[in-house]
Amino acid sequence: MNSIAKCIKEKYHYSIVVFKELVKTDFQLRYQGSFLGVLWSVLKPLMLFGVMYAVFVKFLKFSDGTPTFAISLLCGTCLWSFFNEATTTGMQSIVARGDLLRKIHFPTYIIVAATTMGSMISLGINMIVVIVFGFFSHAHYTWRVLLVPFSIVQLYAIALGVALLLGSLYVYFRDVSHIWEVVLQAMFYATPIIYPLSMVAKDYPLISKIMLLNPVAQTIMDVRHNLLSPEDIPTVWSWVDNPWLSSVPYILSFILLWVGVIVFRRNSPKFAEVL
Give the chain's mean pLDDT. Answer: 84
Picking from 200, 211, 110, the residue whose alpha carbon sits closest to that of residue 160 is 110
Contacts of 267 (CB under 8 A, 6+ apart): 168, 171
Supply the pTM of this predicted model.
0.89
Q: How far apart are CA 157 and CA 206, in angstroms?
A: 27
Q: How far apart are CA 221 and CA 201, in angstroms?
A: 15
Residue with more model confidence, 190 or 136? 190
Residue 4: predicted pLDDT: 53
pLDDT tens per residue, range 235-273? 888 888 788 888 999 999 999 999 999 999 998 888 767
Signed CA dihedral, 209, 211, 217, 219: sign only: positive
Least confident of 13-22, 70-79, 137-146, 208-217: 13-22
Q: How far apart are CA 186 and CA 188, in angstroms?
A: 5
Share of the chain above pLDDT 90, in %: 33
Q: How far apart are CA 130 and CA 59, in angstroms?
A: 23
Q: How far apart are CA 89 and CA 85, in angstroms?
A: 6
Residue 139: predicted pLDDT: 84
Q: At what angle do helices 69-96 and 148-172 cross, to 10 degrees?
A: 30
- Label each residue of 146-183 as H, E or C: HHHHHHHHHHHHHHHHHHHHHHHHHHHCCCHHHHHHHH
Structural domain spans, the chain: 15-274
Q: How far apart are CA 69 and CA 186, in angstroms?
A: 22
Residue 159: predicted pLDDT: 96
Residue with more model confidence, 80 or 35? 80
* pLDDT range class, residue 155, cuts 50, 70, 90: very high
pLDDT tens per residue, range 37-57? 667 777 777 787 788 778 777
* pLDDT range class, residue 16, cuts 50, 70, 90: confident
Helix and strand element counts for the chain (H, E): 14, 0
The answer to whether 64 and 232 are in contact (CB under 8 A) is: yes
Integer angstrom CA distances of residue 270 from 90, 121, 171, 273: 18, 30, 10, 5
> How many residues belong to the chain?
275
pLDDT tens per residue, range 92-102? 988 887 777 76
